[in-house]
């Protein structure tokens, strides 16, 4: 079976950063000034599919992300715990890509971390989403990127800052892999490619407010958010893994 390789870390919905590496680059929009998240703009989410022919899936797709993970409507499944195997990699740079380093203040969560993976042969994409609320605990990923983020403070889109060797294991999700949601969706930015396997961990983590502020300061992008609106489920099945011992005998 072809294995997924860790590609980048993206904090989306409320704040986002990208660690560059070779996989999955063809799936991303390089110039994010071509679109925005302002619904009153002709480049806003409802118009993404009209901006370029290759972005039409943003408008016509039936498996778009994000969706509302309503626990009352999910299918409980025995998918088993996530099997993760990460190794340190030289990601070289942290890049200011405009919309991907910003803060959205209008959701019940304060931060979402995306671990984006791609198979090297078939280019299949899988994303693990980790949700955060402001608390007393520091997020280890943002803590390890404190200096690069400070170097991006107030920079314009396109600036690169050296990161060097980064160890994905610093995310530390080993204890949170038994309770998660699973559904088929898409990339949340143009070209909105579908066929993405989404796994969202149920465990909510803690992040310090100043860590989110450091992301906001990395790009002076104004008060608006960077969350794509919730997309129709279109009768998709959303599974919720309750791996033993969480299953009841009743």
Q: pLDDT tens across 204-226, in order?
A: 888 888 887 777 777 544 445 56
Give the active site residue among 47, 99, 114, 117: 99
Quick one: what percent of the chain has pLDDT higher than 90? Answer: 21
Q: How far apart are CA 27 and CA 49, in angstroms?
A: 15
> What residues are paired with 161 via a beta bridge?
94
- Whether 249 is covered by a domain: the verdict is no
Does residue 247 belong to any structural domain of this protein?
no
Three-point CA angle 183, 49, 107, nearest 5°: 50
Q: Give a yes or no: residue 129 inside a domain.
A: yes
Per the domain annotation, does 248 fall within a domain? no
Q: Which domain CATH number covers 90?
A: 3.10.200.10
DSSP state of 146: H
Tokens of 158: 């396109």
In a domain, 9, yes or no: yes
241/62 Cα distance (integer angstroms): 24
Instruction: Decide if 206 contacts 137 (C-beta within 8 A).
Output: yes
With respect to residue 235, please indicate whether it lies within any of the assigned structural domains: yes
Nearest partner of 203 among 231, 168, 171, judged by Cα: 171
Q: Is residue 250 in some structural domain?
A: no
At 107 the pLDDT is 46
Distance CA(47)–CA(14), nearest Å, equals 21
> For residues 71 and 202, what is the distance between their CA atoms, to the nearest angstrom?
10
- Which domain, by its residues, includes 138? 5-242
99 is catalytic: yes
**pLDDT tens-place string over residues 61-107:** 999 999 988 766 888 888 887 776 666 665 545 554 544 433 333 34
More confident residue, 105 or 127: 127
Q: Count the domains in the chain.
A: 1
**Residue 234 placed within a domain:** yes
Q: Give SS3 for 53.
A: helix
Rounded Cα distance, 200 and 108, in Å: 15
Ramachandran angles phi, psi of 129, nearest 5°: -105, 135
Q: pLDDT at position 106, please?
A: 35
Q: Report d(CA 7, CA 66) in Å as an integer.
A: 20
């Amino acid at each position: 079976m072809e294995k997924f390789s860790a590609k980048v870390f993206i904090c989306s919905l409320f704040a986002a950063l990208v660690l560059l590496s070779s996989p999955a680059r063809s799936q991303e929009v390089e110039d994010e000034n071509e679109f925005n998240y302002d619904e009153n703009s002709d480049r806003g989410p409802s118009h993404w599919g009209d901006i370029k022919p290759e972005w039409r899936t943003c408008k016509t797709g039936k498996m778009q992300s994000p969706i509302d993970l309503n626990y009352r409507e999910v299918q409980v499944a025995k998918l088993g715990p996530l099997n993760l195997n990460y190794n340190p990699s030289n990601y070289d740079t942290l890049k200011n890509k405009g919309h991907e380093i910003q803060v959205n203040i209008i959701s019940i969560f304060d931060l979402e971390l995306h671990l984006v993976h791609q198979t090297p042969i078939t280019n299949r994409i899988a994303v693990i989403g980790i949700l955060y609320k402001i608390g007393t605990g520091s997020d280890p990923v943002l803590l390890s990127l404190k200096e690069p983020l400070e170097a991006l403070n107030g920079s314009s889109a396109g600036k690169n800052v050296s990161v060097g060797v980064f160890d994905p294991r610093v995310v530390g999700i080993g204890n949170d892999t038994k309770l998660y949601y699973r559904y088929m969706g898409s990339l949340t930015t143009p070209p909105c490619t579908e066929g993405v396997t989404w796994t969202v961990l149920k465990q909510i983590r803690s992040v310090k407010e100043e860590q989110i502020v450091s992301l906001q300061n990395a790009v002076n992008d104004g008060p608006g958010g960077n969350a794509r609106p919730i997309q129709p489920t279109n009768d998709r099945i959303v599974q919720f893994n309750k791996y033993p011992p969480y299953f009841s005998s009743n």
